[in-house]
Amino acid sequence: MMPALHVNYKAVLLAAGAALVVGAPEWMKPQSVNPWEVLGELARSLLIAYVFARFFVRSRIADWKGAFVLAGTVWFAFQATILLGSLLHEQMPFAAYALRAGYALVSALVIVAVLGAWQFRQRPDESVASRASGPTRETGALARAEPGINIKAVALAAVAAIVVGALWYSPLLFGAAWAELNPSAGAGGAKVPPAAVLGELVRSGIVAYALARFAARFRISDWKGTVLLGGWVWLGFHATLILFSVIHQDMPLKLYAIHAGHGLANELVITAILGAWRRKA
């Protein structure tokens, strides 16, 4: 299991506020500022910043290179790839994808910049990294000094995620409701093009590999800790990403629940396989 964390909540609040201000041009309508949108975006930014702070501490980051590698890794593996699903299955225009992905990247960079500035200005014995990992601090990219990644487990988890997705959006589960709420996705149960299947495999593989890498980096030794990691990833980077469409684009809550539920099922299945295989090994 993972040891207790020491997250600096002042830094989290500041990071969330900075992300809110920087991202305002993306979602705020100058002619009519909706206070509920502002509150919703603030809550979303707080969740993202808090989970980033947990990852920041757990990764024992002590320099700017490590901080921005963390931001880039999270963005690429858990945000850009999640949005890619809308390109593959819901006919999202590429320009809209690029705009949303770019906004997520800017937010991630701003959040880790604030967290890093707050941490690195402290004396080493006072830093959150020191409190989390003791007197020995580690620097540099996420890949350093971490156990190996089990590629077979990653491949199995990626395939399992595709199976979960196929069932989730099939007429057996939520396919009909999804098609009704999102006509651009086509009729429920329609044949999926081979290119979309290949894209989904690549997408699931990236997510599974990143989860395996973070589990190794955080030195998680049991399946419960791995599944908990999946839950935090879902809460901080998956559910919040889709929540943007609810707050600013009037996505129906039922459609949000379908997409967010699929994301949670995916994260739990992937991390359960990674954790079980890790324990067996």
**Phi and psi angles of residue 190, each rounded to the nearest 5 degrees, phi first:** -65, 155
Q: Quick check: is 1 in a domain?
A: no
Determine the structural domain holding residue 57 and report its residue range: 9-280
Q: Quick check: is 3 in a domain?
A: no
Q: Quick check: is 128 in a domain?
A: yes
Distance CA 231, CA 56 (A): 17
Does residue 165 contact residue 265 with C-beta atoms inside 8 Å?
no
Which residues, given as ranges, of the chain have pLDDT below 50? 1-3, 123, 125-146, 187-189
Distance CA 214, CA 226 (A): 9
How many CB atoms are located within 10 Å of the residue 14 CB?
A: 17
Q: Please give the pLDDT value at position 9.
A: 92
- CA 256 vs. chain centroid, Å, equals 16
Q: Quick check: is 4 in a domain?
A: no
Q: Quick check: is 195 in a domain?
A: yes
Tokens of 51: 């989970």
Does residue 278 contact residue 236 with C-beta atoms inside 8 Å?
no
Query: What does 72-107 look like in DSSP terms, one character per residue?
Result: HHHIIIIIIHHHHHHHHHS---HHHHHHHHHHHHHH
Q: Please give the pLDDT value at position 131.
A: 42
pLDDT digit string, tens, across residues 154-206: 999 999 999 999 999 999 999 899 888 876 665 444 566 777 788 889 999 99
Q: Quick check: is 105 in a domain?
A: yes
Q: How many domains does the chain have?
A: 1
Distance CA 206, CA 204 (A): 5
Does residue 16 contact residue 42 with C-beta atoms inside 8 Å?
yes
Distance CA 260, CA 281 (A): 31
Distances (CA, A) of 258 to 81, 182, 227, 238: 18, 11, 20, 13
Q: Quick check: is 2 in a domain?
A: no
What does the DSSP 8-state code read for residue 148?
P
Q: Quick check: is 88 in a domain?
A: yes
- CA 63 vs. chain centroid, Å, equals 22
